[in-house]
Structures are given as C-alpha cells and as structure tokens.
Structure 1
Amino acid sequence: MAGRPREFDRDQALRKARDVFWQRGFESTSMSDLVEALGIASARIYAAFGSKEALFREAIELYESGDGAFADAALNEEPSARTAIARMLGEAVELYTQPDRPQGCMVVSSATNCSLDNDGIREWLAEHRRSRTRSIIERLEQAVDSGELPGHTDVRSLGDCYATILHGLSVQARDGIGRSRLLATIPLAMSAFDAAARDRA
C-alpha cells in the first residue's frame, strides 16, 4: 500500500522557487529544476501553484515584498530625495552582492529576453522596471515641489539616469563586480543630483 505523500510547507517551497528563478531566470528554469529544488513532484507543484508561470509571478511578488522592497522603503521614508536615492543605491548594492543569495536583482535578470511563447512574462517584468523608474521620477518631482531641486530641473532625465544606474548595478553584480567597487560608484552617481541642486540659474 502506497504511503501518503509527505506534507510540504508552501511558503518554504515558494522561497526555494524564488531563489531558483532568481538564479536562472524564468525561461532557463525547467520543471525538473523546480522539482529538485523544492523536493516535491511536479504534479504537486502544479496542484499548489497552478503552473510554472503562476509560480514565477508569485515568486516575483515574494521578492518585491521582501528583499526587493528596499527601493520603495528608501524613496518613501527618507526626508530628502538625495538621501532617498543614495540609500536606494547603497541598499541595492548590499542586496545584489549578498554571498548567500543569487547576485543582482531578480526583476532585472529573470527575463530580459524570452521566446515569443513567454513574451507576456518579459513585458510584465519590463513594466515592473518602468514602474520603478516612475517612482524615482515622482520622488524627484517632490524634491522640486519642496525646493530641494530648482523648478527647471529635468526630473525625467535625472530619474532615467538613476533608474539606469540602479539596473546597471544589478548587471555588474551579476557579472561578479564586488561590493566595494559598486559602492564606490554611488558618490559619483550622486554628483548628478548635486549638480542639479546647485543649478539655480
């Protein structure tokens, strides 16, 4: 008589799946990879999460509400835009270079290129990245409203600059650039903000 399937912790399984997707990306992660990492049969994975895509989307939500929540926290909690952006970049480096986690940002690295079959996932993640860019621009707009930046500041270009740097830090970390080198780029990045703040003409 066959024994009952052993119980599994769904939250723990989701965390394991997150790390597999974070390391390998959506398209390169196979069901056999997930079976090995989660330690449960594919049928139980489908029963618990519905599909590989549904599991991936849930894993991204877990990342964004946990490790990846640093950017929203920095932008919302700091009293000035300058300290918010500097904190965001610094905490990005800390996260992206943790030795016990996959390197880089899960949202940036999981699906920059996909086959046509997975184009919906690629676009979904692209919208997540565009949303981050918008949140940076909105924080800079607040800085203009408060007088931290002059009224004529090109907040869209400055926001695009910091989004590019943020996402670039992920790529550099993924390529093995160390924490100290990445942290050393932040004062240079903040010089763009300082230049904008000084330009009162």
Structure 2
Amino acid sequence: MARPIEFDRDEAVKRATSAFWECGYGSISAGELVERMGIAKSSFYNTFGSKTDLLREAIASYTRDRAAALQRSTRQSNVLDVLRHLLLNVAKRNDDGKGCLLVNTAVELSKHHPDMAEVTRNGFSEMAMTFEALIKAGQEDGCIRADLNAKQQALILVTSISGLRVMAQSGFLAKEMQPFIDTVLQPMEC
C-alpha cells in the first residue's frame, strides 16, 4: 500500500513554480528542486513523476494564479485601466526582473521539446481566454469599444505582453516602450 503524502502538495508546487520561474528549467537540478520544495527525493518522484511533469504542473498552477489575479484586479478598476496598469507594470518591473514563466519556458524549451510547446501554448491560450472575458466585460461596462473583436484583441494582448516582457528583459526602459503600450491600447479606447 502506498504511503500517504506527508507534505502540502499545493505548497510544494508553489515552491517549484518559484524555482522554475527564478532559475529556468535547465538551470535547476531535480536535487535542487527537492531541496527548495522541502520534500524528500522519494516523495518528489512518487508524487510528481519527473522534473518535466512537475514543470507542466507548475505552469498550469502559474497560469491559473495569473488569470485569477487578473480577474480580481478588475473588481477595483475598469478593465482598460487594469490593462494599462498591467502593461506599464510589465515595462517597469517585469515581475521584478523574472519575466513571465510562460514566456521564459516557451523561449527556453519549446523549440526542442514539442510537449513543452504544447504546455506553453495551452497557458497562453488560457490567458487569452481570460483577456477575452475581461474585454467583453469592459465592452459591457462601456470602457472598451463595443465593435472590437474581443477574441482577436485578447490574442493581440497576449502577444504584446510576451514581446514587452522580452524587451524589458533585454534592458529597454518603460519610457521607451510607452509608445508601444499606447498603440496596443488605442484600438480599445472608446
């Protein structure tokens, strides 16, 4: 009979997500992951299978958390203001220099690992669906143009944010990227 899990799985996944986000996939060993997760090596393999399987779970968790945080932020401000703040925050801070786990993983692994390309594509698709729902809510509230195709604009946002993150990691300043941010948001403005 299998032994019961003796650790908080969600907490372990959060720690792994943080480790992958900070270090990337290739730069962190399974041993270092185990240490950062605070679990036994046998628990790691028995629970998560492999480092790659854990990365899949970490990306899914990261994406869910990001989508939920974005949805929560629109409760306090209109959608267009939330989107402007998000883009400016990416340009200024880019998650304290860590970038985006989806973008980082896509850049690092997707070219040579088709399964990771699918995982990151699913994450980007989930974020696009979140943006689409937010855009539709903004259209209903009257802060975003009603004639805008929400699905297309959502994909434009995901693509733009990904590019913005890469540019920020490359050292471009927020003031240099301000015209790009204005261009991305301009079609949505009423």
Q: CA 1:126–1:183 in structure 2 vs 1: closer, same or farther (change >3 Å)?
A: farther
Q: Give the TM-score normalised by the residue count of structure 2.
A: 0.69
Q: Which residue of 2 aligns with 1:3?
A: none
Match for 1:71: what amino acid?
Answer: L
Q: Give the TM-score normalised by the residue count of structure 1.
A: 0.66
Tell me, yes or no, if the aligned pair for 2:20 and 2:55 is still in contact at 8 Å. Answer: yes
Separation of aligned partners in 2, 1:140 and 1:190: 17
- Larger CA Rg, structure 1 vs 2: 1
Q: Which residue of 2 aligns with 1:87?
A: 85
Q: CA 1:55–1:141 in structure 2 vs 1: closer, same or farther (change >3 Å)?
A: same
| Unmatched runs of 5 consecutive residues or more in structure 2 | 1-5
Aligned residues: 184
Tell me, yes or no, if the aligned pair for 2:15 and 2:37 is still in contact at 8 Å. Answer: yes
Cα displacement string for residues 31-74 of structure 1 (whole angstroms, at most 9, x for unaligned residues): 24435645766334213433223322332344345567543333
Match for 1:60: what amino acid?
Answer: I
Bigger Cα displacement from structure 2, 158-167 vs 86-95: 86-95
Separation of aligned partners in 2, 1:150 and 1:176: 33
Q: Which residue of 2 aligns with 1:148?
A: 143
| Unmatched runs of 5 consecutive residues or more in structure 1 | 1-6
Matched position secondary structure for 2:189: helix
Matched position secondary structure for 2:57: helix
Q: Which residue of 1 aligns with 2:120?
A: 125
Bigger Cα displacement from structure 2, 43-52 vs 65-74: 65-74
Q: Which residue of 2 aligns with 1:26?
A: 25
Cα deviation, residue 109, structure 1: 0.9
Separation of aligned partners in 1, 2:37 and 2:92: 27
